[in-house]
């Protein structure tokens, strides 16, 4: 005689396998910020690659992006997402012509 829930064994195993694969796979990118070069990168390029910043200061002269980090690298956090898991801010400062003067990744919360 077969147990009543025998028909659920295979779907449950597949579900667990998929859930485990999703939970353990790093989604960060080591190359996410490599395009940033002080004195070279332009504001337009940053907007195209990173999208809308989480904050803008001094008439868009200073941009801030929220970041997470995992084994794969940095993960950009959307401005509408909450601060859960955010440990860094990417700060970008541009001159009047829109050229990147300096950038830094600032720890805002210990991982």
Q: Which two tokens stand for residue 57?
A: 């200061």
Q: pLDDT truncated to tens, each residue of the chain (111 aa)?
A: 556 556 666 666 666 655 555 555 668 999 999 999 999 999 999 999 999 999 999 999 999 999 998 889 999 988 777 777 788 999 999 999 999 999 999 998 766
pLDDT in tens, 51-78: 999 999 999 999 999 999 888 999 998 8
**Residue 13: inside a domain, yes or no?**
no
Please indicate, yes or no, if residue 2 is contained in any of the structural domains: no
In a domain, 21, yes or no: no
User: Which residue in 41, 40, 59 sits closest to 50, CA to CA?
Assistant: 41
Tell me whether residue 11 is in a domain. Answer: no
The answer to pTM > 0.85 is: no
Full DSSP string of 86-97 = --EEEEEEE-TT
Where does 36-75 have alpha helices with state H? 43-50
Is residue 43 within 8 A of residue 98, CB to CB? The reply is: yes
Q: What is the CATH number of the domain that holds 48?
A: 3.30.1450
Whether 55 is covered by a domain: the verdict is: yes
37 within a domain of the structure (yes/no)? yes
Count of domains in the chain?
A: 1
Would you say residue 12 lies in a domain?
no
Rounded to the nearest 10°, the torsion over CA 70, 43, 61, 102 is: 60
Domain extent at residue 34: 26-107
pLDDT, position 82: 72
pLDDT for position 53? 95
Q: Which pLDDT score, from 0 to 100, does residue 15 have?
A: 66
In a domain, 84, yes or no: yes
């Amino acid at each position: 005689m077969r147990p009543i829930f025998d028909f659920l064994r295979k779907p449950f195993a597949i579900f667990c396998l998929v859930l485990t694969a999703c939970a353990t796979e790093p989604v960060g990118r080591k190359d996410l910020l490599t395009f940033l070069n002080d004195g070279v990168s332009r504001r337009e390029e940053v907007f195209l690659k990173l999208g809308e910043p989480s904050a803008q200061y001094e008439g868009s002269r200073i941009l801030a992006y929220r970041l997470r980090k995992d084994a794969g690298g940095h993960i950009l956090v959307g401005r509408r997402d909450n601060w859960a898991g955010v440990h860094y801010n990417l700060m970008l400062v541009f001159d009047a012509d829109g050229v990147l003067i300096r950038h830094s990744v600032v720890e805002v919360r210990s991982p």
